[in-house]
Amino acid sequence: MGYRAGILTASDRGHRGEREDASAEAIRGLLQTAGFDLGPYEVVPDERAIIEDRLRVWCDEPDLALIVTTGGTGLGPRDVTPDATRAVIAYEVPGMAEAMRAEGLKKTPMAMLSRGVVGVRGRTLIVNLPGSPKGVRENLGAIVGVLPHALEVLRNPVTDHGASP
Residues 149 and 153: their CA atoms lie apart, in Å, by 6
pLDDT of residue 2: 84
Instruction: Provide the domain limits for residue 22.
Output: 4-155
pLDDT of residue 23: 97
Residue 54 falls within a domain, yes or no? yes
160 located within any domain: no
pLDDT band for position 97 (50/70/90)? very high
**Does 97 reside within a domain?**
yes
Task: Give domain status of residue 58, yes or no.
Answer: yes
Residue 57 within any structural domain of the chain: yes
Q: Is the pLDDT of residue 157 over 90?
A: no
What CA–CA distance (Å, rounded) separates 89 from 125?
Answer: 9
Residue 156 clears pLDDT 70, i.e. is over it = yes
The torsion angles phi and psi of 83, rounded to 5 degrees, stand at -65, -45
CATH no. for residue 124? 3.40.980.10
Cβ density class 102-113: b for 16+ within 10 Å, e for less = ebbeeeeeebee
Split into its structural domains, the chain has a count of 1
Tell whether 163 is covered by a domain.
no
| Domain assignment present for 62 | yes
Task: Find out whether 68 and 27 touch, Cβ atoms under 8 Å.
Answer: yes
Between CA 75 and CA 110 the distance in angstroms is 11
